[in-house]
Structure 1
Amino acid sequence: MKLILAPMEGLTDPPMRRLLTEVGSYDWCVTEFIRVTDQLLPAHVIHSYCPELHNACKTDSGTPVHIQFLGNDPIALADNAAFAAELGAPAIDLNFGCPAKTVNRHRGGAVLLDEPEVIYQIISAVRQAVPAHIPVSAKMRLGYLDDSRTLDNARAIEAAGAAWLTIHARTKTDGYKPPAYWEKLPAVREAVKMSLIANGEIWTVDDAVRCQQVSGCVDLMLGRGAVTRPDLVNRIRGQAEIDWATLLQLQLDFLDSPTKTDAGLVGRYKQWLGMLTQGYSEAELLWAKLKKAKQLSELRAEIQTALA
């Protein structure tokens, strides 16, 4: 069983990847998508999304980081993927799942699921540009407006040379509304031979087990559930839970992240704390005290008081 930390724009950024892989046993994680238009991005841009490239493309705890690109130009994506490989990326992932309106309006993400031939061209170009030992993978939804082309897209992705496919078991139209349609995945597994990873609505150990049973997929990608319960991945593996005191210390560590401004850290921490309220009753009490806080010093002081 492989368990992977999902790429989530504005959520699983480098500080969150560092924290979640420090306490959770992931096989790998994936960067937020790097948007490619028609140009080769400079190294500093790729490093800004994946500072782990300075550490053999691993988090501080040693978890590999795969680099994800999003776009619609096969040549530009191939050039950037090859450059990322030169910089040290251990694998390249391609995003065909983002449901954001701005992204879709510019022919990126899930909107390309209406164009299986373009998806084939993109993956084929990237596969040819990247050294053979570096895997190329894809992440998609069941479809854009509906799931009528799910199998067409999966077959195109496999035919183009992808090593595996992760499917968020909802369409773009479904957004993030429950449920995830895990029951749609067995048909994909029958249609292709490449490895398939299931994603969507895995919040608990029971969800993980049911997803495996319904989808037929052994490997899972964990998204918002992993941020809400940082020990979810370990509990799925049958390992120990994280107590609240340990999580408080992790929150202090998060506030020391070097890659954010103070204002950025305050906003990101409060976003995370709000999500933690879904998994921990203690977080609800802390949120009530900190939801109006604007300074890092306020956050640190309240967390340290809770630790005392």
Structure 2
Amino acid sequence: MEGLTDPIMRDVLTSVGSFDWCVTEFIRVTNSVLPDHIFHQFCPELLNDGKTASGTPVHVQFLGNDPEMLAANAIRAVALGAPAIDMNFGCPAKTVNRHRGGSVLLDEPEVVHELVKAVRNAVPPHIPVSAKMRLGYMDRNFMLENAHAIEDAGAAWVTVHARTKADGYTPPAFWDQLQPIREALKINVIANGEIWTNADAKQCRLESGCEDLMIGRGAVTTPDLTQCIRQNSDTALLSWNDLLALQIRFINGPAKTEIGMLGRYKQWLGMMSKHYPEAKLLWDEVKRIKQLHEIVEKLEATLL
């Protein structure tokens, strides 16, 4: 997710989570092959055999509407070490949709097919190509058409966020709407959207019929969520002390600017405060701090 699951967050979450693989923020493709430093900016894991420090594979995700340029950039990503390519047809952002990127393309299933097919044909057969979609743009009229378009283009699997662009991120997610997609396709369908707890994961699987789950904001808010799901635990598996250590690791990660890292850390702490009372108390203490070292000192002093 743009601005959320960046390389630093991927490093932290995969160090404690139980992920099969993760996906970069989308890399926007327009009219050129991007320079290598852009690929490394979005996916520094390419310099580590396409994996995070803990060994979790990282798939490179593209967003765009030009089949030739998407194909060319996919070829370059694979040459740099990408283990898989994902294509974004789910982004609901107005600025992205206004330039015919993301979920707006779900009104054009034939274009979705063309783009996925172009990338599939461009990269070696052993490199998986997948796609992320929503139930639709403003409605669900082309839900099955888009799913079939992705499958027929040669995708290895499709991840479906169980809301339309019009729904945004407003609860609920319509997990039951994934059932007809799963039944219609031969490829794997991965469920996504509004999975915050182990109970949510079980309910999503029940309603959607999907075994596999893609988790974004839930994993950021509750870093041990994937472990809880795998172990069928409704109680936390990481202590607040564990989470403090994770926060220090996050802050000490590479960042362009101190103010940028301040914003990212406070964003994360704000999200965790929805789940952890300790995070809410900490948020009240650090929200006005403008120096990273002061936050680190406070975190280290709090460690037991």
TM range (shorter): over 0.9
Task: Name the % identity.
Answer: 64
Task: Report the Cα offset of residue 293 of structure 1.
Answer: 1.0
Q: 2:36 aligns with which of 40, 43, 51?
A: 43
Instruction: Say if 2:268 is the partner of 1:272.
Output: yes
Aligned counterpart, 2:194:
201
Structure 2: distance between partners of 1:64 and 1:195: 18
TM-score (structure 2 length as normaliser): 0.98
Aligned counterpart, 2:57:
64
Structure 2: distance between partners of 1:252 and 1:41: 33
Instruction: Say if 2:213 is the partner of 1:223.
Output: no
Q: Deviations over 1:208-239 (max 9, x none)?
A: 00000000000000111100000000000117
Q: Which range moved further: 231-240 or 53-62?
A: 231-240
Question: 5+ unaligned residues in a row in structure 2: which ranges?
Answer: none
Task: Report the Cα offset of residue 259 of structure 1.
Answer: 3.3
* Pairs aligned (count): 301
Aligned counterpart, 1:262:
258
Aligned counterpart, 2:154:
161
Aligned counterpart, 1:93:
86
Structure 2: distance between partners of 1:90 and 1:305: 41
Code of the residue aligned with 1:63 in structure 2: it is T
Over the aligned positions, Cα root-mean-square deviation in angstroms equals 0.9
Structure 1: distance between partners of 2:219 and 2:59: 18
Task: Report the Cα offset of residue 260 of structure 1.
Answer: 3.3
Q: Deviations over 1:94-130 (max 9, x none)?
A: 0000000000000000000000000111011100100
Q: What are the equivalent positions in structure 2 for 1:1-308 lying under 5 Å apart?
A: 8-238=1-231, 241-308=237-304
> Any runs of at least 4 consecutive aligned residues in structure 1 with deviations exceeding 2 A, and if so which?
none
Q: What SS is found at the alignment partner of 2:162?
A: strand
Task: Report the Cα offset of residue 287 of structure 1.
Answer: 0.5
Q: What SS is found at the alignment partner of 2:270?
A: helix
Q: What SS is found at the alignment partner of 2:69?
A: helix
TM-score (structure 1 length as normaliser): 0.96
